[in-house]
């Protein structure tokens, strides 16, 4: 065996409440922005499939946890939906939700699968969005109360907590590039939203550390390394550094170092886009950094110096400061339009080791979405997804190299366990170790990659 991993390495997958659970009569869930948006504009969603049915984890969790066991999981990350637990965003707790999440956590533990629980996965309760969502300071406080409720209810059994999944995505999707609700283009608001998410995270970490619970709390960041077109071109290097400040270091520095990148602050100050900050905020951010960092890695970002003219009719955008660069002969996942660059995972882990105190971390998502996987069904009804096995192996080789060089990386979670609903893309691209048949009562079948993952995790390597 060439690639051996430590014996207590966390193997498993990640998912989220809004992408797997579904919405059912009598579950008393409140609307999130996704439920609302789907009702308003179903045509925005691939094949008009909305979050109402998702992958039916709400009813199938027992079966699904058995399938996790059969695919080599010793850990699994999902999220608690704020709009399910506290339908109005504040106030009354939904007992149906408490029962459901208790059952899921207990079932995971009974099967020796450690629950990693995330608190916010893009699913702002609609009642909170009506108040401005993350633009509004009041919503930050409501979220802290929601988190404390989760710690009280489930913290006796859950030892791994995360404040946000990919907090940059609601910023990009909701306030810059229009792929999440509320679908605005307003960088000044985007900056305030990002700031409030960072503050909310620090406040929740503080609240957790004030309990007497024994566990760890962190954040999940999608780190997308920014590579300059030409390492020797000063302008390209500068542009890549700005992209990195916007999309990576904004949350990485605030979460791990307790401060925002000075180059980002200077740039925002220059264009008069600094967020509104209250007294004591920066101290809270400084003193409440993460215990553990989850790293989602899918693709690199290639950057060149600004060559096009950017209009500022909507005010400034990040794109005023750099251009994206299409590297010739890059390896692509054609379905997602994303570059596959395995070494990126090693570069991130090396950066964390060298520049972020070698913080305890794990790969919290890595995955390959493929459209039309039914093409690969064999005579036994199994999907032969050799391309996914190759993808995982090629990334794990680089994780292994980082480990050998002293990286504090503790695990690897794939996105995702079973094919799940993915925002406006719905079920267009499939990512799971387990297929979900939408036509046939969401029947589950383990793919070839799931069987491979089971063998690999048994051996702790390949």
Active site residues: 365
Cα 290 to the center of its chain, rounded Å: 16
Secondary structure string (H, E, C) spanning 280-324? CHHHHHHHCCCCEEEEECCCCEEEECCCCCCCCECECCHHHCCEE
Residue 311 burial by Cβ neighbours in a 10 Å radius (0-12, 13-18, 19+): exposed
Q: What whole-number distance in Å separates Cα of residue 225 and Cα of residue 429?
A: 23
Tokens of 337: 């339009």
Listed residue (320, 296, 326, 327) closest to 162, CA to CA:
296
Q: Give Cβ neighbours of residue 322 (< 8 Å, ≥ 6 apart).
A: 239, 240, 242, 243, 303, 304, 305, 306
In angstroms and rounded to an integer, the radius of gyration of the C-alpha atoms of the chain is: 21
Q: What whole-number distance in Å separates Cα of residue 122 and Cα of residue 164?
A: 8
- Within 115-186, residue ranges assigned H as helices are 126-129, 137-154, 168-175
């Amino acid at each position: 065996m060439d690639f051996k991993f430590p014996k207590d390495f966390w193997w498993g997958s990640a998912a989220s409440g809004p992408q797997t659970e579904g919405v059912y009569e009598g579950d008393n869930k409140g609307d999130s922005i996704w439920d609302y948006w789907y009702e308003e504009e179903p045509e925005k969603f691939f094949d008009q499939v909305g979050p109402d049915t998702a992958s039916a984890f709400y009813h199938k969790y027992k079966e699904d946890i058995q399938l996790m066991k059969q695919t080599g999981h010793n850990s699994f990350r999902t999220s608690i939906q704020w709009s399910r637990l506290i339908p109005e965003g504040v106030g009354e707790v939904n007992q149906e939700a408490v029962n459901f999440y208790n059952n899921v956590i207990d079932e995971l533990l009974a099967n020796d699968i450690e629950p990693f629980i995330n608190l916010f996965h893009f699913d702002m309760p609609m009642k909170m969005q009506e108040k401005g969502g993350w633009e509004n300071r009041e919503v930050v406080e409501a979220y802290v109360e929601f988190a404390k409720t989760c710690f009280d209810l489930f913290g006796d059994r859950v030892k791994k907590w995360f404040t946000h999944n990919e907090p940059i995505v609601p910023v990009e999707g909701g306030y810059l590039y229009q792929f999440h609700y509320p679908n605005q283009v307003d960088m000044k608001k985007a900056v305030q939203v990002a700031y409030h998410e960072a503050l909310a995270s620090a406040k929740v970490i503080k609240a957790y550390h004030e309990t007497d619970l024994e566990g760890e709390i962190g954040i999940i960041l999608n780190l997308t390394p920014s590579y300059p077109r030409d390492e020797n071109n000063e302008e390209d290097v500068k542009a890549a550094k700005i992209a990195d400040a916007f999309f990576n270091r904004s949350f990485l520095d605030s979460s791990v170092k307790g401060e925002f990148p000075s180059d980002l602050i200077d740039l925002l100050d220059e264009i008069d886009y600094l967020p509104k900050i209250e007294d004591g905020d920066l101290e809270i951010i400084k003193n409440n950094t993460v215990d553990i960092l989850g790293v989602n890695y899918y693709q690199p970002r290639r950057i060149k110096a600004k060559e096009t003219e950017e209009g500022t009719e909507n005010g400034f955008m990040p794109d005023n400061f750099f251009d994206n660069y299409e590297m010739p002969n890059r390896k692509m996942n054609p379905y997602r339009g994303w570059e596959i660059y395995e070494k990126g995972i090693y570069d991130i882990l090396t950066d964390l080791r060298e520049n972020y105190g070698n913080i305890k971390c794990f790969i919290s998502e890595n995955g390959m979405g493929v459209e039309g996987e039914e093409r690969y069904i064999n005579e036994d009804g199994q999907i032969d997804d050799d391309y996914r096995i190759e993808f995982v192996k090629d990334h794990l080789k680089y994780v292994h190299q980082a480990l050998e060089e002293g990286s504090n990386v503790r695990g690897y979670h794939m996105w995702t366990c079973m094919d799940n609903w993915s925002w406006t893309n719905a079920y267009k691209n499939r990512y799971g170790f387990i297929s979900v048949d939408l036509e046939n009562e969401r029947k589950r079948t383990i793919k070839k990659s799931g069987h491979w993952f089971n063998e690999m995790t048994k051996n702790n390597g390949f």
